[in-house]
A and B are shown apart, each in its own frame.
Chain A
Amino acid sequence: MVEKTPKLNFLTALTLTLAIGCIGFPIYYAFVAATLPLDQVNLSPMPLFPGHDLLANLTRAWTKAKLGDLLINSFIVASLITVGKIVISILSAFAMTYFDFRGRTLAFWLIFFTLMLPVEVRILPTYEVMADVLSPLDSLFRLLGFEIRLGVSLLDTYTGLTLPLMASATATFLFRQFFLTIPDELQEAATLDGATPMQFFRQIVLPLSRTNIAALIVITFVYGWNQFLWPLLMTTQKTMKVAVVGVQELIPTSDQAPEWNVAMAGALIVMIPPILVVLAMQRHFVKGLIENEK
Chain B
Amino acid sequence: MLKRAHFKSKSLPYLLIAPQMLITLLFFYWPAVEALKQAFHLTDPFGITSLFVGLENFTALFESPEYRDSIGRTFLFSTLVCLLSLASGLILAVCTNRLSAGSKRRNTVQTLLLWPYAIAPAIAGVLWLFIFHPSYGAVGHFLNSKLDLGWNPILEGSHAMALVVIAAAWKQISYNFVFFLGGLQGISKSLLEAASLDGAGPIRRFFKIVLPLLSPTLFFLVSMNLVYAFFDTFGVIHVTTHGGPGGATSVLVYKAYAEGFIGQDLGSSAAQSAILMILTIAMMAVQFRVIEKRVQYGAK
Q: With A124-B261, A125-B32 known to touch, is A29 a contact of B130 (CB < 8 Å)?
A: yes
Q: What residue in chain B is nearest A91 (Cβ atoms)?
A: B16
The interface-forming segment of A49-57, A110-118, A142-150, A206-214 is A110-118
The reply to whether A271 and B24 contact each other, CB–CB distance below 8 Å, is no
Q: With A187-B5, A293-B220 known to touch, is A123 a contact of B111 (CB < 8 Å)?
A: no
Query: Is A193 an interface position by the 8 A CB rule?
Result: no
Q: With A15-B91, A97-B1, A97-B3 known to touch, is A23 a contact of B113 (CB < 8 Å)?
A: yes
Residues on the B chain within 8 Å of A247, using CB: 122-123, 126
Interface residues of B in 251-300 (CB under 8 A from A): 253, 256-257, 260-261, 266, 269-270, 273, 276-277, 280-281, 284
Residues on the B chain within 8 Å of A275, using CB: 115, 118-119
Give the number of chain B interface residues (Cβ < 8 Å). Answer: 104
Interface string of B1-27 (1 = CB under 8 A from A): 111111111101110110111011111
Residues on the B chain within 8 Å of A129, using CB: 26-27, 30-31, 34
Question: Which of B3, B119, B230 contacts A187 (CB under 8 A)?
Answer: B3
Q: What residue in chain A is nearest B221 (Cβ atoms)?
A: A293
> Interface residues of A: mostly helix, strand, loop or mixed?
helix
Residues on the A chain within 8 Å of B231, using CB: 118, 120-121
Interface string of B120-148 (1 = CB under 8 A from A): 11111011111101011010011001000
- In the bound complex, what is the Cα–Cα distance between A196 and B116 (angstroms)? 45
Question: Which of B3, B116, B128 contacts A23 (CB under 8 A)?
Answer: B116
Interface residues of B in 59-75 (CB under 8 A from A): none
The reply to whether B202 and A16 contact each other, CB–CB distance below 8 Å, is no
Q: How far is the CB of A79 from chain B (nearest CB, A)?
A: 16
Q: With A29-B138, A226-B120 known to touch, is A180 a contact of B27 (CB < 8 Å)?
A: no
Where the two chains meet, the residues of A that have a C-beta atom closer than 8 Å to any C-beta of B are: 1-3, 5, 8-9, 12, 15-16, 19-20, 23-27, 29-30, 33, 41-42, 44-46, 48, 87-89, 91-92, 94-101, 104, 107, 110-111, 114-118, 120-129, 133, 136, 163-164, 166-167, 172, 179-180, 182, 184-185, 187-188, 191, 197-198, 200, 222, 225-229, 232-233, 244-245, 247-248, 251, 258, 260, 263-264, 267, 270-271, 274-275, 277-279, 282, 286, 289-290, 293
